[in-house]
Amino acid sequence: MKVLANDGISQSGIDALKASGFEVITTNVAQEQLISYINENQITVLLVRSATTARKDLVDSCTSLKIIGRGGVGMDNIDVAYAREKGLKVINTPASSSASVAELVFAHLYGGVRFLYDSNRNMPLEGELNFKGLKKAYAKGIELRGKTIGIIGFGRIGQEVAKIALGVGMRVIAADKFMEAATIQVVFFDGQTIDVTIKTQSQESLLAEADFISLHVPAQNDYVIGAREIEQMKAGAALINAARGGVVDEVALLKSLENGKLSFAGLDTFEEEPKPAMQVLMHPKVSLTPHIGAATGEAQDRIGEELAQQIAEILL
């Protein structure tokens, strides 16, 4: 049986699939040629990440397919319900990349409170001639310790963010429509652990209390953070979105950065991917990454191995 990993898969995932007897193809097939390629090569399993889509036309046209797998959490690039109605198994790896996404959140946070998003742009331009001026411009940083982080969406990734925040010494508050409380286990390098139970609260109260807000919600039809929600935030608060594009009103966000309501934003996902708005990309108060939350070697190894295990359990 053939597995097409159209957006790539880690070597450990390839090895695990081959050990179970699968033929693994890592050719990147263009979206418009994907249906014909699957049919010509009698592909049994299609694995995607965020670049490739698997819509109704592909499900209807590719009769050899038995499994569509998403290496990661969100499956908005797959017509999941339709595929399952047609008898296909649709799988993903919701836990494998949680820690990597959480660490990226803190990369944006630390970069934000010490102005790295801007100093990394200006040091190459002005560092030689205006070192003292830049030093003064970036001298009003703050520490994360003792501050309040508000996590909207308290699933696996939100809880991983909470673990890091607790270790940093932050106060953690959370909002989640489907959960009343969660017990977070913080694991230290030597095996010691502490358990912290966090009760969720309303989004409105979280917005009013948090110094920093991190979003961990699935794709939505409406904005989770728009002009109304930004108005409810503390003056000088900051927003991180390493969840999905389209959950933040980017026009309202940029306006809040311009008028000083928010101090900075960190964005890993965007309303318009793969072509984010130029106003967002050029804004001096936005820390930017190109949707790389799960893009660590460790996460990709876990994703590949988990996909291989699920595929073997279904087909063998």
Contacts of 275 (CB under 8 A, 6+ apart): none
CA atoms within 13 A on the CB side of 45: 27
Q: What is the CA radius of gyration of the chain?
A: 22
The rounded distance, in Å, linking the Cα atoms of 266 and 289 is 8
Residue in 5, 3, 97 with CA at minimum distance from that of residue 51: 5
Q: In sequence order, what are the beta bridge partners of 224? A: none
Residue in 212, 93, 240, 173 with CA at minimum distance from that of residue 184: 173
CA dihedral 76, 238, 261, 202 (to 10 degrees): 70
Residues constituting the chain:
316
The rounded distance, in Å, linking the Cα atoms of 37 and 17 is 20
* Residues known to be catalytic: 244, 273, 291
Element (H, E) at 163: helix 156-168
Contact assessment for residue 254 and residue 279, using Cβ atoms and an 8 Å cutoff: yes
Q: Amino acid identity, residue 266?
A: G
Contacts of 91 (CB under 8 A, 6+ apart): 67, 68, 69, 70, 307, 310, 311, 314
